[in-house]
Amino acid sequence: MDQQIKDLINKEEKRQKELVHLIPSENFVSEEVAMVLGSCLTNKYAEGYPGKRYYQGNEFIDEVESLAIERGKKIFGVEHLNVQPYSGSPANSAIQMALLERGDKICGLKLSAGGHLTHGHPKITFSGKFFESVQYDVEEDGRIDYDKLEQLVLQEKPKMIMAGTTAYPYVLDFKRFGEIADKVGAWLVADVSHIIGLIVGEVHPSPTPYVHLIMSTTHKSLRGPRGAFIGITKKGLEKSKELFGDELEIAKKIDRAVFPGLQGGPHENNIAAMAVCFAEADTQEFKDYAAQIVKNAKILADTLRNNGLKVFGTENHLMVVDVGLERGKEIAIKLEQNGIVVNANTIPHEQGSPFKPSGIRLGTPAMTTRGWKEKEFEELGNRMAKIINSN
């Protein structure tokens, strides 16, 4: 093996084993997922979809991808599933490209309020450059005011609403999102990349009955490989029939947008690892894991709050902590020096900037995978508060 790379892998493995990992978007995959990622499936080109490939030699690859699709449809409760997106950002872009025309109006949560770049962040992203973006915000307590969201939607009449977050520590009301979207006939997309494991684990409400499409990454709280999927719900098929005269037209549009619209050959080793991950998530053990994530997050948030820190959240797996004006990066570095890995993050109504934010973002999925429970997180919270509060 390349000795330099081997040495670096060993160092990274040591870092992952020895430090406390609290970045909410990170987790540890199972040995089986890791094994499949490094399998011979990485050698195969498979442009197209099962049964409709452009290259020969895909007999077994078709079975792999079909298995991932069927397992995913079962646990996510969707009617159609595309497992080829390389990650969440191109998956969101594919949805927007499939269902919108350039200049159409899109509505998403502001980045500074816990939204994602691909939800219409102006000027620098695909969604902000190609579509007219109107964005909703959170209140002082960090929560979405659904009445204000409804007023914005009724006024602006967007063609698509993105219901999803990256740093929102509360339960999302997908039913209310659905009611609001229906009032203006908008497409409703649930980006559940952070909370998909909690949804599958039945500790967060599912968006499936209320939205037209679901997009999610497969790592984070789901503990799978770094990929993504796009799911179409029964409601999405009904809207497709209403708009296009064919309930399956939406599936065709999504599939064409992923390939050949945005991507080339799918990463079939990754898709096989998704299939493994989906099977792992379809167990009582995973439900217990998801429940423990939420218990651990609550005790960590309560402990930090009891130590005088302002904490936004939590009702899910993450929280945002106000550590002082523009001190987020400084505190993140300080914590890492003490063996605790977090990420600097904006807080609601941030007075600093994305480069010098005032908060840090914490999550419990990774250390819950490592077997941590309430006791360990209470001890960690006290330790973190001491570090943060020291000058």
Which residues belong to the active site? Answer: 45, 47, 191, 217, 220, 226
Residue 319's nearest CA partner among 335, 305, 339, 336 is 305
Q: Could you tell me where the DSSP H helices lie in 174-283?
A: 174-184, 196-200, 234-244, 249-256, 268-281
> Using an 8 Å Cβ cutoff, are 48 and 366 in contact?
no
Per the CB < 8 A criterion, the answer to whether 140 and 348 are in contact is yes
DSSP 130-160: HSEEEEE-B-TTS-B-HHHHHHHHHHH--SE
Q: Are 183 and 14 in contact (CB under 8 A)?
A: no
Is residue 109 helix, strand or coil? strand
Query: Using CA atoms, how far apart are residues 207 and 167, in angstroms rounded to an integer?
Result: 18
Kindly state the DSSP code that residue 324 receives in the 8-state scheme: S
Is 368 in contact with 296 (CB distance < 8 Å)?
yes
Pairing of strands 343-345, 340-341: unpaired
292: left (phi over 0), alpha (psi -120 to 50) or beta: alpha
Report how far residue 232's alpha carbon sits from residue 211's, in angstroms, rounded to the nearest whole number: 9
Which residues fall within 8 angstroms of residue 57, CB to CB, at 6 or more apart?
Answer: 44
Whether 221 and 365 have beta carbons less than 8 Å apart is answered as yes
For 30-68, the three-class secondary structure string (H helix, E strand, C coil) is CHHHHHHHCCHHHHCCCCEECCEECCCCCHHHHHHHHHH
Cross-strand pairs, 188: 161
Q: Please say whether the beta carbons of 294 and 171 come within 8 A.
A: no
CA 47 to chain centre: 26
Q: Rounded CA gap, 199 and 286, in Å?
A: 11
Find out whether 297 and 378 touch, Cβ atoms under 8 Å: no
